């Protein structure tokens, strides 16, 4: 048995994963690391780096790429730690993290623990602007707390403010709950809802921050944003958690564009109102982060993310359930 097991599922991001591994230094050797190459074999350099971190490493190579939930479940089959630490391959533990988390792992009242991710230095303008936009409630609603510190101390949490790129779960809690395997996006939300339904106690600490590299090209953002909306819609119909009407707002936003064909003056009035709001939010965020040059791009990404997310949400509502979903997964 170990204090914790860190699980990292990776595919095609070796440079970022090396940075992630370099940050996993809790200050002792009594922990386990599981690396799963999801459709992409782990290189010799990665294996050597991992072995330098701890004596307890498991390497798993999967030839055919699996959905995120299924890949994590495969890795969980090899986990021996009292706690499971899920961290994404493009994230890294920030200074001070271990000083905060290790005492909290001894708290009997905590079954699930997490914190926000944060922008890292060195990202290109698209990645840096995306990090700012995602932390705005006008872009991601209440889930914006996943991307910025909420409050100043430990607090009860739910699936809206926790993220699987930075998540601790007692292994005993996983005896009855596993990751859903038929979700390309949003599997973390359903996983957390299932844990809450199983009467597990979820907590959030704002100082448990990891750095998270964001996608550097707009084209790479289309698919994950669309499927985030698609699977959020499905989850609201099928998941155990309560439905949140706020997640309908991006879909309503998309539908409002049809007003342009019915009443153009009204459409432009509403469009100016919305653009003014997100411009104000982008200016405030750009100045707060000392990146004023990114304000136009942050404004655009507010619009882009909400619109594409809303398209995905609406598409799922109109997609016949017994056919295959647009990702190719049988449904």
83 within a domain of the structure (yes/no): yes
Dihedral sign, CA of 35, 41, 46, 48?
A: positive
Count the domains in the chain: 2
Element (H, E) at 330: none
Query: How high is the pLDDT of residue 308?
Result: 96
% pLDDT > 70, the chain: 95
State the Cα–Cα distance between residues 72 and 69, nearest whole angstrom. 5
State the Cα–Cα distance between residues 196 and 193, nearest whole angstrom. 5
Q: Which of 137-141, 183-187, 252-256 is the least confident region?
A: 183-187
105 within a domain of the structure (yes/no): yes
- Together in a domain, 233 and 119: no
Q: Where are the beta strands (DSSP E) in the chain?
A: 2-10, 31-38, 56-62, 81-87, 91-93, 112-114, 117-118, 155-156, 166-170, 202-204, 210-212
The answer to whether 91 touches 165, Cβ cutoff 8 Å, is yes
Query: How high is the pLDDT of residue 288?
Result: 86
77 within a domain of the structure (yes/no): yes
Is pLDDT at 245 greater than 80 in this prediction?
no
pTM as predicted: 0.91
- Together in a domain, 114 and 224: no
Residue 102 is part of a domain; what is its CATH number? Answer: 3.90.550.10
Tell me the residue range of the domain where 238 lies.
219-318
Residue whose C-alpha is closest to residue 145's, from 228, 204, 232, 221: 204
Q: Which of 7-21, 150-164, 213-227, 230-244 is the least confident region?
A: 230-244
* Span 41-99, pLDDT tens digits: 889 999 999 999 999 999 999 988 999 999 999 999 999 999 999 999 999 999 999 99
């Amino acid at each position: 048995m170990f204090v914790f097991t860190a699980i990292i599922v990776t595919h095609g991001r070796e440079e970022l994963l090396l940075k992630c591994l370099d940050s996993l230094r809790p200050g002792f050797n009594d922990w386990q690391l599981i690396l799963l190459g999801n459709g992409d074999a782990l290189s010799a350099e990665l294996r050597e780096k991992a072995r330098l971190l701890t004596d307890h490493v498991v390497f798993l190579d999967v030839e055919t790429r699996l959905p995120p939930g299924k890949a994590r479940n495969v890795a969980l089959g090899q986990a021996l730690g009292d706690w499971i630490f899920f961290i994404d391959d493009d994230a890294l533990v920030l200074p001070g993290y271990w000083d905060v988390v290790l005492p909290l792992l001894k708290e009997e009242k905590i079954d699930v623990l997490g914190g926000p991710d944060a922008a890292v230095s060195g990202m290109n303008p698209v990645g840096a602007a995306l990090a700012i936009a995602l932390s705005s409630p006008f872009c991601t609603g209440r889930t914006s707390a996943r991307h910025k510190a909420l409050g100043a101390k430990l607090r009860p949490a739910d699936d809206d403010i926790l993220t699987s790129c930075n998540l601790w779960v007692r292994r005993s809690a996983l005896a009855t709950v596993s990751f859903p395997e038929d979700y390309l996006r949003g599997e973390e939300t359903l996983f957390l809802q299932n844990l809450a339904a199983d009467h597990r106690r979820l907590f959030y600490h704002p100082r448990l921050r990891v750095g998270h590299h964001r996608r550097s090209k707009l084209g790479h953002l289309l698919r994950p944003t669309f499927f985030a909306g698609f699977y959020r819609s499905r989850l609201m119909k099928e998941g155990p958690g309560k439905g949140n009407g706020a997640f309908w707002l991006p879909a309503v936003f998309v539908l409002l564009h049809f007003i342009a064909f019915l009443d153009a003056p009204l459409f432009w009035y509403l469009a100016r109102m919305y653009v003014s709001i997100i411009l104000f939010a982008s200016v405030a965020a750009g100045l707060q982060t000392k990146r004023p040059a990114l304000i136009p791009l942050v404004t655009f990404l507010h619009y882009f993310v909400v619109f594409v997310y809303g398209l995905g949400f609406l598409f799922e509502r109109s997609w016949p359930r017994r056919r295959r979903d647009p990702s190719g997964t049988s449904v």
